[in-house]
Amino acid sequence: MSIVVDRLSHTYHPNTPLETRALRDITFELQRGAWMSVVGHTGSGKSTLVQHLNGLLIPQSGSVVVDGMEVREKSPHLRAVRRKVGLVFQYPEQQLFAESVLEEVAFAPRNWGVPEAEIPGLVQSSLALVGLDGQYLERSPFHLSGGEKRKVAIASVLASAPEYLVLDEPTAGLDSFSRKELVDLLTALKEKGYGILLVTHDLDIALQASDAILILNRGEQVVRDTPRRVIEHLRGDHIPGLSLPDIVTLSAELHDRTGTVPVTWDWRVLAQAIGEMKR
Partner 1 sequence: MKFLDNLTFGQYVPSESPIHHLDPRCKIACVLVLLTSIFMVRHTTSFIGWGLLLLVVTSFSRLPLRLVVKTAKPVLILALFTASIHIFFTKGTPVFSLGIITVTREGLRMAAFTALRLLFLVLFASFLTLTTKPMELADGLERLFSPLTRFGFPAHELAMMMTIALRFIPTLLDETDRIMKAQLARGAYFDKGSLWKRLKAFLPVLIPLFIIVFQRAEDLSTAMEARCYRGGKGRTRMHPLTWRTSDTIALLGLSLVTALLLIADRTLLP
Residues that bind ligand ATP (CB under 6 A): 12-13, 20, 22, 40, 42-48
Give min distance, CB of 42 to Mg ion, in A. 7
Choose the stretch contacting partner 1; rule: CB under 8 A; options: 60-68, 82-90, 120-128, 245-253. Answer: 82-90
Q: Based on CB atoms, which residue is closest to partner 1, 2 or 51? A: 51
Among 2, 11, 20, 47, binds Mg ion (CB under 5 A): 47
Q: Based on CB atoms, which residue is closest to ligand ATP, 4 or 242? A: 242
In angstroms, the Cα distances linking 249 to 3, 29, 92, 238, 267 are 33, 29, 33, 13, 12
- 52: number of Cβ within 10 Å: 23
Q: Based on CB atoms, which residue is closest to ligand ATP, 201 or 233? A: 201
Distance CA 252, CA 161 (A): 42
For the chain, the straight-line distance linking the first and the last C-alpha, in angstroms and rounded, comes to 49
Helices 119-129 and 101-111: crossing angle in degrees, nearest 10, is 110
Under the criterion CB under 8 A, does residue 51 sit at the interface with partner 1?
yes
Residues 134-163 that bind partner 1 (CB under 8 A): 142, 156-157, 160
Under the criterion CB under 8 A, does residue 226 sit at the interface with partner 1?
no
Q: 55: helix, coil or strand?
A: coil
CB-CB contact of 255 with 228 (8 Å): no
Q: Based on CB atoms, which residue is closest to partner 1, 74 or 279? A: 74
Helices (H) and strands (E) in the chain, counts: 10, 10
Q: Based on CB atoms, which residue is closest to partner 1, 95 or 258? A: 95
Distance CA 239, CA 222 (A): 9
Give min distance, CB of 98 to partner 1, in A. 8
149, interface contact from Mg ion, ligand ATP, partner 1, none, CB < 5-8 Å by kind: none
The DSSP bridge partners found for residue 6 are 63
Contacts to partner 1 by CB under 8 A: 12-13, 16-18, 51, 54-58, 73, 79, 82-83, 86-87, 89, 92, 94-98, 107-108, 111-112, 142, 156-157, 160
